[in-house]
Structure 1
Amino acid sequence: MNSNSQPIKLFLVVAFSCTSLLVSLILVPAKSISASSGSDAVRGASRREGGLRLRSDLKTLAQGTTFNQPPIPPGPPPGGRVRGGAKRGTLGCPLTKPDLTAFVPFTEEANSVINVWGQTTLERPSWFFYVPYTKDLPYVVEFVLQEDPESKNSKEIYRKAIALPDKSGVIRVSLPTTAPALAVDKQYRWFFSINCDQQENSPWTYVEGVIQRVNLSQATVKELETAEPLKRYAIYAQKGIWYEALTTLAELRQKNPQNAALQAQWRNLLGSIRLDDVAGEPILPRTP
């Protein structure tokens, strides 16, 4: 009896050990999968919540946000060119559709004079241009900024050679920290120019306008400090601060390239200054 019971006990111990090991091997991955699934679910819920909040904010903006273009400041009108104006059969850059375009508000006066003018609150703002030409073309491109735009002795304070992009689209030109800061309540004239035929010494194709730095009220500045990007965009648009409104919305679009509501808001903003024809052009990545 005792001699037979020993093998049975040994068998039971081995069987129990194997069973325990098998259960542990099954349960540990199950816990890992459960924890991973829970983490994925939280991340998914967070993304969905963020997406819903973005759509909700955009719906509110679409219903009440318009760009309030401020009046031209006193003094000589700024003038300028919002389109490059290349023409078929003339020297210079070839005709394209759309043409070289500055993303800036403009007005057309009764005497056919166009005024290209906008406000910023920044010492070093950014400009956006639709460029129809690409880097495979041997064209020279420059951005120039001058102070005292109405003076005969206008002083150039910044000049930058611009590399043409890989494909046609909207490029961003920012004033760097090495350039003088814009002064408050002072006007500056900018030029974005392309020379397409250097050997023939043909005229440059260019756009130009005037920018003025202004201060916002302390209450508005405080509101901007805590506002989400979409709210900041709405504040700038309502206050007539073109350059920050455009830059804020452009950055949002680049971070959310597939968001249809942001694309619609972008079209609305450009449509409000009659630049519908370039509203669908891609915003290209910033070059180093």
Structure 2
Amino acid sequence: MKSNSQSIKLFLILAFSCTSLVSSLTSVLAKPTLPASTHAQVVRFNPPSPPPGPPPGGRPTGGASRGGSLSVCPSVKTELTALVPFSEEPGTVKNVWGLTTVERPSWLFYMPYTKDSTYPAEFVLQDQESNPIYQKAIALPERPGLIRVSLPANAPPLEVGKQYRWFLTVYCDQQKESPPIYVEGVIQRVNLKQATVQELNTAEPLKRVVIYAENGIWYEALTTLAELRQKNPQNPELQAEWRNLLASIRLDKLAAEPIFP
């Protein structure tokens, strides 16, 4: 009888151990693991070579003066900033420019001024001959953050191979008699290789960001990732990729700023 009792106890111990092992394995196998290719640090912007001809010049951040005159705009913790690549040459000359593949792209700017200030703001796009082809008053946000400016359907489409100069200007003087705060740069539309286009057509949204960034297409990489962040604001992977993309142009200090419609 004693032998039978010990056998029953041993059987119960083995059964419990097996159940625990199966439960542990099931728990481990049930946990989804992200492929290595989707972890943070995937998005790496590959800046293209500068455009041929004269340097594009530009201004990535709003300064405190223009033409030697002081602006009446109040000082802010973070200046008006265009989210676009820029390079510096000797003598502090900045070249602000980026590529797009679409007829009507979007720009993102950090806007430190709010609608309570009632400052007039304006976006202007010029062709290569400095002729304005699009001009629009810009509504300031409720609080400082990132605003998006897009060319509407009724604006002239960008032509492939041509360069266009854009400006975003904030007038802290209602009469526009004092120097404004402004940023400016150059955008150029290009065509991608057909193989890359096919890859984009079948890729998931985050993979499209990676493809655009690897091919030096800044504007579509930026706006695609910004849209993903707006739809999934609490997603830690997208937050990491957003910071990584902005860090590639030395603007990761703006990664935590809200993106307004």
Q: What is the TM-score of this pair, normalised by structure 1? A: 0.76
Relative contact order, CA 8 A, sep 6+: which one is greater? 2
- Which structure 2 residues correspond to residues 75-224 of structure 1 after superposition, within 5 A? 75-86=53-64, 90-148=70-128, 151=129, 154-199=130-175, 201-224=177-200
Structure 1 residues 223 and 112: CA distance shift in structure 2, 3 A: same
Aligned Cα root-mean-square deviation (Å): 2.0
Q: Give the equivalent residue in structure 2 for 1:275.
A: 251
Structure 2, gaps ≥5 residues long: 1-29
Structure 1 residues 217 and 206: CA distance shift in structure 2, 3 A: same
Displacement of 1:200 = 6.9
The AA in structure 2 aligned to 1:85 is G
In 1, Cα distance between equivalents of 2:32 and 2:76: 40
Structure 1 residues 217 and 195: CA distance shift in structure 2, 3 A: same
Q: Give the equivalent residue in structure 2 for 1:247.
A: 223
Q: Does 1:69 align with 2:47?
A: yes
The AA in structure 1 aligned to 2:179 is P
The AA in structure 2 aligned to 1:230 is L
Structure 1 residues 206 and 280: CA distance shift in structure 2, 3 A: same
Displacement of 1:95 = 1.1
Larger radius of gyration, structure 1 or 2?
Answer: 1
Structure 1, gaps ≥5 residues long: 1-48
In 1, Cα distance between equivalents of 2:35 and 2:101: 24
Name the % identity.
66
Displacement of 1:52 = 5.1
Q: Is the 8 A contact 2:99 2:189 kept in 1?
A: yes
Of the structure 1 ranges 138-147 and 269-278, higher mean CA displacement relative to structure 2 is found in 269-278
CA deviations 1:233-269 (Å, max 9, x no partner) are 0000000000000001001101110011211111111
Q: Is the 8 A contact 1:104 1:116 kept in 2?
A: yes
Displacement of 1:57 = 5.7
Q: What is the TM-score of this pair, normalised by structure 2? A: 0.83
In 2, Cα distance between equivalents of 1:196 and 1:280: 26
